[in-house]
Structure 1
Amino acid sequence: MPTDIRDYAVVGNCHGIALISREARVEWCALESFDAAPVCFRMLDDHIGGYLDTRPADPFEVTRRYLPKTNVLETTFTTAAGSATVTDFMPLGRHPDAAPDDFVRLQPLPWLVRIIRASEGELDIKLDMLPGVGWGTCEPDVRRIDHGVALNGASLLCSHPIEVDDGHISAVMHVRAGDELRLVLMAGHCAMPSDVLARLDRLLAITVAYWKAWIGRCGYKGPYVDAVERSALALKLLTYAPSGAIVAAGTTSLPEVLGGSRNWDYRLSWVRDSTLSLFALSVLGYREEPEAFRKFLFDCGTGAVFPTQIVYGIHGEHDLTERELTHLRGYGGARPVRIGNAAHRQRQFDVYGEVMDWLTLHCELGGSLRPPELELLRRTADYVAEHWCEPGQGFWEERDEPRHFVYGKMMCWVALDRAQVLLKCHDYDDVMRAMVEDVHRRGIAPRGYLRKCYGSDLVDAVLLRTPTLDFPLLPGCLQATIDEVMAKLATPRGVYRYRGRDGLDGDEGTFIACGFWLLDALLFTGKKKEAQDWFETMLQQANDVGLYAEELDPQSGQFLGNFPQALSHLALIHGAVLLDFVEHGGPEALKGTHADRVQHAVRMMEEAKRARQAPHAEIGADEWLLDLAALGLG
């Protein structure tokens, strides 16, 4: 049986990422970048997929947690004879040339570090590793080096002797209380392995200081601070520092249906998901990540309209041709395993609204747009004004024929509404009135709720986002839409995004972000108690370390889809902040656009900061400076 997706935790350094099971087995590890060929990918093939495992030889119990306010994972094994704690992290810190308050220009190391400390008694630790090479298409070439082994393009360093047998790496290491084992899985090779192993404590201290300093800037101090901070740390971990891109999730091909074919590559930067992530970070007080993404998007997304496509590679790639790795078994037999995503060819009208909405916020918070950028936005608004009445693909990228999605029509209105703010004009008033009339006439079912598509009486959970858009709705339409979602899509554990055909085989689970959007919509209809109860229900769906995948099996509670999922975590942050708005400012605090609400959040955070009597403990910038030369590693 494959490891339950719910049992994974994640570590990373805004370049690479690793997924680690509850029993501390590394089952996914891409060292240099999110989209690099992984050295561990057991989750996608439990026969040839690489992994790294260190565990007690005797039966054990296990607990785990993140070190407070960090993305550093700590797993504790307890046996009848002793206990040991495993600390996993990927090193990062401030670049030596970065400003002291710069949290975007980073110095990472393409390493996964594991430190095992025996705390009580004594026990044997078994090391077991199968390296993965070329997605399992190549036999691993393993040879001994000083303090470890060299692999194909990678190395495993170890403080204790290890054995190699036909490409398999193993050891049994006896430890007593106070003893320590050190391992480093690194991209490339190292000329100074003993120096690397000797400096891991310093690298751990720098990494911990970085994460604590970054999350210390979070302005949310409400009742759900632990969940909000964990979600913010997950979103930050999913940013790719070299370009400013934000990936939708850290993995590819974890299935939306167990054993099915709904398996997609999410290690890419969706414009829509990224802009929604930036709203979540902005509302918490973060500014650098949004500015880095703005630069990324204008660098790779310029053309006749903006953006030129709905998703890019993390280095700005436009060609994301979808390929199937047919030799891999897939997670639990769910085939195919895919690299790339054919959705990059889809035309989705909602993306123009998401970008214009976010850029409005960018300018409201003091950002600016250059004349060529404004001209590009004008061309985009002209394009939307001319083509909004045409069919397209929807928010969920269904692989079916283009249709007139109601949410897409409303987002075209948002695009023109925000464009008029950015361009300081009223050129699109007549078109916007026509859009509203069209949605009211064709997009509302006889029972008064918003349809998924023109000509269909199905409902779509993305329409729960409507009140956040400031789109003019008919009286009672939002409540009728909530009622229809509750009747047709809601379960005790969450909300399906839609039901019915979508051009793909099989069904899927409830969509975690949709569950949080339901509480948003409830707040906009004045149902604070129901919204808070639903928020508590959604919080209970997280795994033991506070992380979410994309979907949830409504019967078993098993996670489905890629992990960790940015859209799930940003929706949690948004819901927590809206609850805080209503608690302190009443329903009036929800009115307006995203930009209005973020400005309101900024004011609330500033007032709360002034009201706090004890100053927040500051971490000096030198504590999270990763200077390789000073460490003797440069």
Structure 2
Amino acid sequence: MTTMSTPIESYALLSNCRTGALVSDAGSIDWLCLPRYDDASIFGALLGDEQHGRWSLRPADPAAAATRRYDGDTFVLVTRWRSAEGVADVIEFMPVDDEADAVVRRVVGIEGTVAFESELLLRFDYARALPWVRQIGDHDAPVLLAIAGPDAVAVRGPRLHPDGTTHRAAFSVSEGQTVDSVLTGDRSYHRHPVAIDVDAALQRTRTWWTDWASRVERGGPWQAALMRSMLVLRALTHPETGGIVAAATTSLPEDPGGSRNWDYRFVWLRDAALTLEAYLAHGYTEAARRWRDWLLRAVAGDPADVQIMYGLGGERDLPERELASLPGYQGSAPVRIGNGAVDQYQGDVIGEVLVALEAARLAGVTETPSSWSLQRALLAQVVEWVDRPDNGIWEMRGDLHHFTHSRAMVWAALDRGVRAVREHGLAGDADTWERLRDRVRSEINETGVDAAGRHFTQHDSTDEVDASLLLLPVVGFCAADDPRMLATVARIERDLLRDGFVMRYRTSAGTDGLPGDEHPFLACSFWLVEQYAATGRVDDATRLMDRLCAVANDVGLLSEEYDPGAGRHIGNTPQALSHLALVGAADALAGHTGRAAHRT
């Protein structure tokens, strides 16, 4: 089967913060799940071809050329099409602060008269369900209604005519004319999805995003990249639950053509905690409170049952399954939904949460009896599991180890518990936590370094280095200019740089238990920027930061990884961790004290 070859960097995101659509620079929406990011797709061409669902809207002239941008600090996408006939804009957005889940595509004539074509293929449930489609409404206000099982979609706009299982429309716009197409989704057992007021929705959506962005604390030479990254983080944060998905997609491959394809549409405690810190560093204390409330709901119960990830609503059951209905991006199979790593023990996760909640205290977020009670329970679990080997931050599917980064985050968890008691006056067993904290530090200093004690190592049974070691100074385990840290950076530069970008680790070492290779991990390169900045290598930091920001696509989005040889984005997109790391690096270079002050 022929599959899509649209480059990942060709996609822009439309979002209402509950879910998001990926629209290519050719005008095709190739990925959309309703009503949440982690629900089933109605457009799945991203992981197959057009027969797996898409909605194309573009000029009829195949030679028409497009440029696009977001409308200021929003997720309103404006694509300007130029053809031999004239010029037209396509304005696309998902209304926010609205009960309806909708995608609006407005075509505005700018010059001349431009003919447009719309092609719609709806495939529900990850392309496993071909919906029942019929026309309702009247001649002047046609509505295409598609239903399959519990799902219903209505499309309003120019009349769509059937062509097999595809529906097509053709229309023209002249200067000053506007033609709207609106897709709305709902449950099939509700009233048919209702029409929306496009003018009001557009104004409301622009205002909502602009107001949110206006509260971001600004500054520094990479302000535009930082702002777009903050907006991406907000787009991935559910407005009701407070959960933060790691990415908008599933199964975009780390190794195209290979099997390293994972579902990232869930809330990793680690990524969510780091997002909380980014929010705090830029003035969003209310977002911190909402995420803390999400955390209380998600991990309620026995702390021994804490997971590394949850659903957007705090769901625990996220079984990993392989889909036969989608062949994968460029044939990269299998396509997975759910994530088997949910059952892993990753020793750093509780530490990430407790570091973030300490940052919240420092930012003035007041503890509640239940929030501190939860942290004490998590600390009790850290004490019980203090010697437990884990799968590590990279979710290794090989043997368990005492990964040095994980051990440092165990240290950080205990350290923040001690601070909560000693510096904030909260009640807890600070003596026990302090004793274990100091013991873990001593063990890392003995077993988390190479035989000569020169540099930190990935885990206690190897001489290999790992990019996560760059985070040790960030959480205060050691100084950035500690001789062992400087030696670790030198080893990372020697062993993990590929065309100047940082790999997570050497896959050839076999630690991850997976076949195939991967590409440089963008977050790791931003971490190296922070390390350079912290040790006075400002020129090196600036050069690398410039290269990394240039990797972002034309609308400022970053995926998980980057192939510098091909100049291609790799992996799920847009990726929260990549944008989080950009924010941290920009803050470090700008001399911003927010994140560093909260972390260490």
1:157, 1:321 → 2: CA distance? 33
1:13 counterpart residue number: 16
**Which of 495, 499, 513 is the aligned partner of 2:502?**
495
Does residue 460 of the first structure (1) align with residue 458 of the second (2)? Answer: no
1:235, 1:305 → 2: CA distance? 27
**What's the CA shift for 1:306?**
7.4
2:240 counterpart residue number: 242
Cα deviation 1:580-633 (Å, max 9, x = unaligned): 117xxxxxx69975356xxxxxxxxxxxxxxxxxxxxxxxxxxxxxxxxxxxxx
1:49 counterpart residue number: 52
Percent of aligned positions with the same letter in both sequences? 36
Cα deviation 1:304-345 (Å, max 9, x = unaligned): 327711100111111111011123211110011111001110
Moved more, 278-287 or 229-238: 278-287
2:255 counterpart residue number: 257
Does residue 431 of the first structure (1) align with residue 436 of the second (2)? Answer: yes
**What's the CA shift for 1:192?**
9.0
What TM-score results when the alignment is normalised by the length of structure 1?
0.87
2:395, 2:201 → 1: CA distance? 42
Cα deviation 1:236-269 (Å, max 9, x = unaligned): 0000112110000001111111011111111100
Matches within 5 A, 1:455-534: 455-472=461-478, 475-499=482-506, 500-501=509-510, 502-534=512-544
Moved more, 304-313 or 55-64: 304-313
Structure 1: unaligned runs, 5 residues or longer:
94-106, 583-588, 597-634
Matches within 5 A, 1:80-229: 80-93=84-97, 107-146=98-137, 147-152=142-147, 153-188=151-186, 196=195, 199-229=197-227
Moved more, 145-154 or 3-12: 145-154
- Secondary structure of the 2:67 match is strand
1:382, 1:548 → 2: CA distance? 38
1:8, 1:308 → 2: CA distance? 35
Matches within 5 A, 1:290-301: 290-301=288-299
**Which of 40, 59, 67 is the aligned partner of 1:63?**
67
Are the aligned partners of 2:304 and 2:381 in contact in 1 as well (CA < 8 Å)? no
1:68, 1:571 → 2: CA distance? 22
1:206, 1:593 → 2: CA distance? 36
**What's the CA shift for 1:180?**
1.8
**What's the CA shift for 1:174?**
2.4
- Secondary structure of the 1:510 match is coil
1:630 counterpart residue number: none
Cα deviation 1:430-449 (Å, max 9, x = unaligned): 22222111111111113711
Structure 2: unaligned runs, 5 residues or longer:
423-429
**What's the CA shift for 1:23?**
1.3
Cα distance change of structure 1 residues 85 and 47 upon mapping to structure 2, 3 Å threshold: closer
Cα distance change of structure 1 residues 83 and 307 upon mapping to structure 2, 3 Å threshold: farther
1:440 counterpart residue number: 445
2:286, 2:45 → 1: CA distance? 35
Matches within 5 A, 1:15-34: 15-34=18-37
Cα distance change of structure 1 residues 88 and 303 upon mapping to structure 2, 3 Å threshold: same
**What's the CA shift for 1:281?**
1.5
Moved more, 249-258 or 147-156: 147-156
Are the aligned partners of 1:325 and 1:338 in contact in 2 as well (CA < 8 Å)? yes
Are the aligned partners of 1:581 and 1:590 in contact in 2 as well (CA < 8 Å)? no
1:379 counterpart residue number: 377
Are the aligned partners of 1:43 and 1:331 in contact in 2 as well (CA < 8 Å)? yes
1:301, 1:379 → 2: CA distance? 10
1:601 counterpart residue number: none
**What's the CA shift for 1:108?**
4.2
2:76, 2:444 → 1: CA distance? 48
The letter for the 2-side match of 1:72 is V
**Which of 401, 404, 412 is the aligned partner of 2:402?**
404
**What's the CA shift for 1:428?**
2.2
Are the aligned partners of 1:141 and 1:167 in contact in 2 as well (CA < 8 Å)? no
Are the aligned partners of 1:27 and 1:50 in contact in 2 as well (CA < 8 Å)? yes
Cα distance change of structure 1 residues 307 and 114 upon mapping to structure 2, 3 Å threshold: farther
2:596, 2:116 → 1: CA distance? 58
- Secondary structure of the 1:509 match is coil
- Secondary structure of the 1:142 match is strand
Are the aligned partners of 1:497 and 1:514 in contact in 2 as well (CA < 8 Å)? yes
- Secondary structure of the 2:412 match is helix
2:401, 2:567 → 1: CA distance? 33
**What's the CA shift for 1:84?**
1.1
Alpha-carbon RMSD across the aligned residues, in angstroms, is 2.0
The letter for the 2-side match of 1:37 is A
1:45, 1:141 → 2: CA distance? 22
**What's the CA shift for 1:366?**
1.8
Cα deviation 1:7-52 (Å, max 9, x = unaligned): 0000111112100001111001123111121211110110531100
1:615 counterpart residue number: none
- Secondary structure of the 1:426 match is helix
**What's the CA shift for 1:419?**
0.8
What TM-score results when the alignment is normalised by the length of structure 2?
0.92
Cα distance change of structure 1 residues 307 and 294 upon mapping to structure 2, 3 Å threshold: farther
**What's the CA shift for 1:140?**
2.4
The letter for the 2-side match of 1:342 is G
The letter for the 2-side match of 1:150 is L
1:174, 1:536 → 2: CA distance? 42
2:500, 2:531 → 1: CA distance? 17
**What's the CA shift for 1:387?**
2.5
Are the aligned partners of 1:73 and 1:88 in contact in 2 as well (CA < 8 Å)? yes
